């Protein structure tokens, strides 16, 4: 019997392979190659330029951790901006918070939104919520040109290659800082502590030089390179490591818990060393 496999080359020397049942969709958009695969172990999988973005089976880890940590840190998150995140998974988690009044998604590639709506409704359904405004635009340009201020800005980007490269720079974080309220929080996905050490170091240095509070936390995501993923927070007022999480409202989640909120900031020595 023929065996079909998908392989992502995670680094020059490491590959991740999983068996697939079939290919549901492939296309080349103006920005990237988009594919939706049906895998055996992880269910449907969104792949951009050969890189796993999300899967039905493990999406909850990434989407819950990029959302609930900053939203529970803020006393009353009302206006949220997501840059990237066209699959809608982050939006789905944001809307679980009762304080949220509006969410804006700024995604450069309209086709990611459309393909996710068609093939991944389990993740993308929240994109149709009336509180959500979708803006098809480059996040870098958007941040420079808007007058609105947000309580939380989430950078839910692809890897720092092509259009996402500028989403990992000092200038971008500095412009985001200006578009946050006085109690605002920035959160960015910052890749693998095994494979992206220099990136993590630079991002943390930049965010620490712009925000009075900078913290990094970790989560285990099986389909992302090395399985260990980092997120970096820049905060103007609230320290995510000292907020009284137990006093907060409850939400439905599968990975995030109030105890995980505190424990995810406890870092292994080799990760701590990147932040000095
Ligand atoms: N969870 C994912 C991960 O870490 O692999 C990220 C998912 S989401 C699909 C990433 C999105 O960022 C993509 O749809 C991509 O089109 C979008 N993106 C990349 N560069 C962008 C930019 N400059 N402005 C707005 N969106 C951008």
pLDDT tens, residue by residue, 73-129: 999 999 999 999 999 999 999 999 999 999 999 999 999 999 999 999 999 999 999
Q: What is the DSSP string of 172-218?
A: HHHHHHHTEEEEEEEEEE---TTT-HHHHHHHHHHHHHHSSEEEEEE
Residue with the nearest Cα to atom 11 of ligand 1?
A: 84
Average pLDDT estimate for 156-176: 95
What's the pLDDT score for residue 163? 92
User: Across all residues in the chain, what is the average pLDDT?
Assistant: 97
| Whole-number Å distance between alpha carbons of 251 and 181 | 25
Using left for φ > 0, alpha for ψ between -120 and 50, and beta otherwise, residue 50 falls in left
What's the pLDDT score for residue 1? 80
Q: Are 149 and 181 in contact (CB under 8 A)?
A: yes
Q: What share of the chain in percent tops pLDDT 90?
A: 99
Instruction: Specify the pairing of strand 102-107 against strand 79-84.
Output: parallel
Instruction: Convert the pLDDT of each residue in 257-270 to its tens digit.
Output: 999 999 999 999 99
Q: How many CA atoms lie within 13 A of 5 on its CB side?
A: 9
Nearest atom (ligand 1) to Cα of 164 = 20
| Structural domains present in the chain | 4-55 (2.30.140.10), 59-275 (3.40.50.150)
| Whole-number Å distance between alpha carbons of 247 and 73 | 11
Pick the closest to residue 188 from 92, 103, 65, 32 (CA basis). 65
What's the pLDDT score for residue 19? 97
What's the pLDDT score for residue 264? 98
Tell me the pLDDT band of 2, cut-offs 50, 70 and 90.
Answer: confident
Nearest-Å Rg of the Cα atoms of the chain is 18
Average pLDDT estimate for 34-61: 98
| Binding pocket residue ranges, ligand 1, CB within 6 Å | 31, 48, 53-54, 62, 83-87, 106-109, 112, 138-140, 156-158, 163-164, 167, 189
| Whole-number Å distance between alpha carbons of 180 and 177 | 5
Q: Answer yes or no: is pLDDT of 14 > 90.
A: yes
Helix (H/G/I), strand (E/B), else coil: 34:
strand
Q: Exactly one of 87, 109, 156, 159 is catalytic; which is it? A: 156
CA angle 234, 162, 63 (to 5 degrees): 45
What's the pLDDT score for residue 258? 94
Q: What share of the chain in percent tops pLDDT 70?
A: 100
């Amino acid at each position: 019997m023929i065996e079909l496999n998908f392989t992502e080359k995670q680094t020059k020397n490491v590959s991740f392979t999983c068996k697939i049942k079939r290919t549901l969709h492939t296309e080349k958009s103006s920005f990237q190659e988009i594919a939706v695969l049906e895998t055996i172990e992880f269910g449907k999988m969104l792949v951009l330029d050969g890189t796993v973005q999300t899967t039905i089976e493990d999406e909850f880890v990434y989407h819950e951790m990029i959302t609930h940590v900053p939203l529970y840190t803020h006393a009353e998150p009302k206006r949220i901006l997501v840059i990237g995140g066209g699959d809608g998974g982050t939006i789905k988690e944001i809307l679980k918070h009762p304080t949220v009044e509006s969410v804006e998604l700024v995604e450069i590639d309209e086709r990611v939104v459309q393909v996710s709506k068609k093939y991944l409704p389990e993740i993308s359904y929240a994109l149709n919520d009336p509180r959500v405004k979708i803006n098809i635009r480059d996040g870098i340009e958007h941040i420079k040109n808007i007058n609105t201020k947000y309580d939380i800005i989430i950078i839910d980007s692809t890897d720092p290659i092509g259009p996402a490269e500028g989403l990992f720079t000092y200038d971008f974080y500095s412009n985001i800082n200006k578009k946050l309220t006085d109690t605002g929080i920035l959160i960015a996905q910052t890749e693998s502590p095994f494979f992206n050490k220099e990136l993590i170091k630079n991002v943390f240095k930049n965010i620490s030089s712009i925000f009075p509070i900078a913290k990094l936390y970790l989560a285990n995501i099986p389909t992302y390179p090395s399985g260990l993923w980092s997120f970096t927070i820049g905060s103007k007022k609230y320290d995510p490591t000292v907020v009284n999480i137990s006093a907060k409202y409850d939400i439905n989640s599968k990975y995030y818990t109030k105890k995980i909120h505190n424990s995810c900031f406890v870092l292994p020595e080799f990760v701590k060393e990147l932040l000095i």
